[in-house]
Chain A
Amino acid sequence: MRIEIKDLHYTYPGDVKALKGISLTIESGEQVAIVGQNGAGKTTLVKHLNGLLQPTSGSVLIGEWSTTEETVAKLASRVGYVFQNPDEQLFTKNVHQEVSFGPKNLGYESEKVEALVEDALTLTKLSDQKETNPYDLSPTWRKMVALASIISMDTPIIIFDEPTTGQDAANIERMANAIAALRERGKTVITITHDIDFCAENFERVIALAKGKVLLDGSANAVLGQEEILAQTYVDPPQLTRLGLRLGMKEVVRNQEEFLNAYKKHAA
Chain B
Amino acid sequence: MAIVNLKNVTYKYPLTDTLVLDGINLQIEEGEFVAVVGPNGAGKSTLCYMLAGFVPHFYKGELTGTVEVAGVETQESSLNEWVMNVGLAFQNPFNQISGAKYTVFEEIAFGLENIGVPRKDMKERVERALEMTGILDLAERSPYSLSGGQQQRVALTSILVMEPKVLVLDEPTSQMDPIGTREVFGVIRTMAERGMTVVLAEHKMEWIAQFADRVIALHEGKILLDGKPGEVLTSELLDGKGFGISRYTSTAREAQEQSLWPNNKNLPVTLDEAVEGFTPNPSPSPLKGEGS
Interface membership of A240, Cβ < 8 A: yes
Contacts A166-B91, A235-B179, A247-B275 given; does A140 touch B40 at CB 8 Å: yes
| Bound: A259/B242 CA distance, A | 24
B180 touches A240 (CB 8 A): no
B248 touches A38 (CB 8 A): no
A260 touches B146 (CB 8 A): no
Interface membership of A155, Cβ < 8 A: no
| Bound: A39/B38 CA distance, A | 30
Residues of A within 8 A of B179 (CB): 37, 231, 234-236
Q: Contacting B242 at CB < 8 Å: which of A87, A170, A197?
A: A170
Interface membership of A238, Cβ < 8 A: yes
Which B-chain residue is minimally distant from A239 (CB atoms)? B247
B176 touches A239 (CB 8 A): no
Interface membership of B62, Cβ < 8 A: no
Q: Which B190-236 residues have a C-beta within 8 angstroms of A?
A: 203, 206
Interface membership of B117, Cβ < 8 A: no
| Bound: A256/B147 CA distance, A | 32
Inter-chain residue pair count (beta carbon < 8 A): 123
Query: Interface digits, A138-170 against B, CB 8 Å rule (1 contact, 0 not)?
Result: 111000000000000000000000100111111
A38 touches B147 (CB 8 A): yes
Interface membership of A43, Cβ < 8 A: yes
B176 touches A38 (CB 8 A): yes
B177 touches A168 (CB 8 A): no
Query: Interface digits, B56-94 against A, CB 8 Å rule (1 contact, 0 not)?
Result: 000000000000000000000000000000000001101
Interface membership of B25, Cβ < 8 A: no
B145 touches A16 (CB 8 A): yes
B248 touches A239 (CB 8 A): yes
Q: Contacting B148 at CB < 8 Å: which of A12, A162, A240?
A: A162
Most buried by A among B180, B247, B250, B275: B247
Most buried by A among B206, B243, B251: B251
B177 touches A36 (CB 8 A): yes
B246 touches A239 (CB 8 A): yes
| Bound: A12/B142 CA distance, A | 12
The smallest C-beta distance from A60 to any residue of chain B, in angstroms, reads 21
B175 touches A238 (CB 8 A): no
Q: Contacting B278 at CB < 8 Å: which of A196, A234, A247, A256?
A: A247
B178 touches A234 (CB 8 A): yes
B247 touches A236 (CB 8 A): no
Which A-chain residue is minimally distant from B45 (CB atoms)? A139
Residues of A within 8 A of B146 (CB): 39
Q: Contacting A256 at CB < 8 Å: which of B40, B203, B247?
A: B247
A168 touches B242 (CB 8 A): yes
Which B-chain residue is minimally distant from A249 (CB atoms)? B278
Q: Contacting A267 at CB < 8 Å: which of B39, B150, B180, B280?
A: B280
| Bound: A40/B41 CA distance, A | 32
| Bound: A211/B175 CA distance, A | 17
Residues of A within 8 A of B164 (CB): none
A256 touches B251 (CB 8 A): yes
Give 6 new A-B contacts, CB below 8 A, not counting A37-B179, A235-B177.
A166-B40, A166-B92, A167-B203, A168-B242, A194-B177, A239-B247
**Could you list which residues of chain A lie within 8 angstroms of chain B, going by C-beta atoms?**
12, 14, 16, 36-40, 43, 84-85, 87, 138-140, 162, 165-171, 194, 196-197, 231, 233-236, 238-240, 242-243, 246-247, 256, 259-260, 263-264, 267
The 6 A-B pairs of least Cβ separation, nearest first, read A38-B149, A234-B179, A239-B247, A234-B177, A236-B178, A170-B242
Between-chain CB contacts (< 8 Å), 15 pairs = A37-B177, A38-B148, A39-B147, A40-B177, A138-B41, A166-B174, A169-B243, A170-B242, A194-B175, A197-B247, A234-B180, A235-B179, A256-B247, A263-B260, A267-B280
